[in-house]
Amino acid sequence: MPAVLLGGAMNALSVARSLWRSGVPVDILAGSFNDSPVRWSRAARRYIRPSDAGDPADSWLRWLTDAEASVILPCSDEGLEFIARHRRSLEEMGHRPIEAADDVVLAMLDKSRTYELARQVGVPAPNTVTLRTRDDLNAITDFLFPCAIKPVESHVFTRRFRPFAKGAYVNDPEEAARLLGPILDEGVAMLLTEVVEGTDECCSYYSYLDEQGEPLTHFTKRKLRQYPTRFGLGTYHMTGWQPDVAKLGLRFFQGVGLRGVGNVEFKRDRRDGQLKLIECNPRFTNAHELVRHSGIDFGLLAYARLTGDPLPPLDHFRDNIGLLFPYEDLRAFRQYRQDGELTTSSWIRSLLHPQAFPYLDKGDPRPSLVNFSHYVKAAGRRSARLVRGSQPGAPTLEVADPYGAVEAS
């Protein structure tokens, strides 16, 4: 049976390659950001751009209405929402959407609801305030500053405001009002959130829960660096078994009733030593290639669960395997070194492990070649700006990602 991947970036490339090498025809329905590297991959039988601007849901539904029966797998938050809201229609067409508890998926797409559910099941989470209008912002009197701002629904935010990072610091109510006012005026909900103090290092738990809520496998990793620092995308990840992370992650998944694929990220608060929830992604993430490379293939697992094929190996993964985004990690290293958080020797030592790479694949070279050309062009633009001289301006929410891959952690 063919597979259709909804949106995504590096995660879609990894899932597509895995399915393709197993003999599965793979079609890609591009999301709002339709320059994913999978566009240039041999693994993609077809790459279909949305015919409408903004939310691609209507375009996807029209295409799937006439498509052959397929397994439907989400590689983006837009894909998650689409399946959760159209599962019955998709099944009536003969498709097999990824197994999931749709009400839980929709809750995980709403960060304020995610944090609320975490506290209900005994999982520590940052203190937050949800803002939907300027009046909500003006009513804030007792929230502690400095704090962070984040969109409540990342995929909704990014259709209106691009480019962006995963969040930003604000030092006082005046700065919060200046940054958030125009966003709230557009009807996009935002969060004020307590900052979990510590370095940028975070840890993640992955699992796949069956229909009874029992885990079929466990996986943990660390995100060692990110760019931009503080609120960027991961640039270097490392596998390693962490029992406390797995225990807390499974408590969260089973407590909220998650089914199917799940990833939850925590950060350890240096003030009290507690792991605190950062976000949950009930789909394949940008680190999917690391998970697959180290021994657990969630893409094949999700496909096999829907088709009745034999399940891939699930009983172990290899520790100390890295996932390196070379260009982005170099930029992150420079920033950490400038801030006094990382030395050149410690950065080099951290890389002395077996590595996986998000694009590089000798059997499918075109995505990595196109990605390299993006890097060259980006370096040229920065060099031109340095020659002209930088101009001061208002703070921006910026992310350095040539594919605009903003929806995966």
How much of the chain is helix, strand and coil, in % rounded to 5? 40, 20, 40
Cβ–Cβ under 8 Å, residues 8 and 31: yes
What pLDDT score was predicted for residue 165?
63
40 secondary structure, DSSP code: G
Tell me: cis bond preceding 25? Omega within 30 of 0 counts.
no
Report the distance separating Cα 137 and Cα 357, nearest Å.
42
Report the distance separating Cα 283 and Cα 76, nearest Å.
7
Report the distance separating Cα 32 and Cα 19, nearest Å.
23
Helix (H), strand (E) at residue 328 = helix 326-338
Q: Show the 3-state SS of 123-173.
A: CCCCCEEEECCHHHHHCCCCCCCCEEEEECCHHHHHHHCCCCCCCEEECCH
pLDDT digits (tens, 9 = 90+) for 116-161: 999 999 999 999 999 999 888 888 878 888 899 999 999 888 887 7
pTM for the model: 0.90
Cβ–Cβ under 8 Å, residues 224 and 238: yes
Using only the alpha carbons of the chain, give its radius of gyration. 21
pLDDT digits (tens, 9 = 90+) for 42-73: 999 999 998 877 789 999 999 999 999 999 99
For range 300-312, the mean pLDDT: 97
For range 26-35, the mean pLDDT: 86
For range 303-321, the mean pLDDT: 96
In angstroms, how far is CA 249 from the centroid of its own chain? 17
Q: What confidence category does residue 406 fall into, taking pLDDT thresholds of 50, 70 and 90?
A: very low
Please identify which residue in the block is written with the tokens 């109510």: 173
Mean pLDDT over each residue of the chain, to the nearest integer: 90
Q: Which of 3-17, 157-171, 195-209, 355-369 is the least confident region?
A: 157-171
Q: Is the pLDDT of residue 402 over 70?
A: no
Record: fold of 3-101: Rossmann fold (3.40.50)
Please identify which residue in the block is written with the tokens 């075109």: 366
What pLDDT score was predicted for residue 408?
33
Q: Is the pLDDT of residue 203 over 60?
A: yes
Please identify which residue in the block is written with the tokens 């609320």: 116
Report the distance separating Cα 405 and Cα 8, nearest Å.
7
What pLDDT score was predicted for residue 389?
63
Structure tokens at 252: 């969260």
- With CA atoms as reference, report the closest residue to 237 among 351, 345, 348: 351
In terms of pLDDT, which residue wins out, 27 or 390?
27
Determine whether 174 is exposed, middle or buried from the number of CB atoms within 10 Å of its CB (0-12, 13-18, 19+).
Answer: exposed
Equal CATH topology for 3-101 and 127-193: no
Structure tokens at 111: 């960060």
Report the distance separating Cα 71 and Cα 304, nearest Å.
10
Cβ–Cβ under 8 Å, residues 144 and 191: no
Please identify which residue in the block is written with the tokens 């079609």: 27
Report percent pLDDT > 90 for the chain: 74
Instruction: Identify the CATH class of 127-193.
Output: alpha beta
Q: Which CA distances in Å does 235 have to 62, 280, 315?
A: 36, 19, 27
Instruction: Identify the CATH class of 202-356.
Output: alpha beta
Which residues are within 8 A (CB) of 39 and not within 5 positions of it... i.e. 6 or more apart? 28, 30, 47
What pLDDT score was predicted for residue 139?
83
**Domain coordinates of the chain in residue numbers?**
3-101, 127-193, 202-356
Tell me the sheet residues that pair with 218. 207
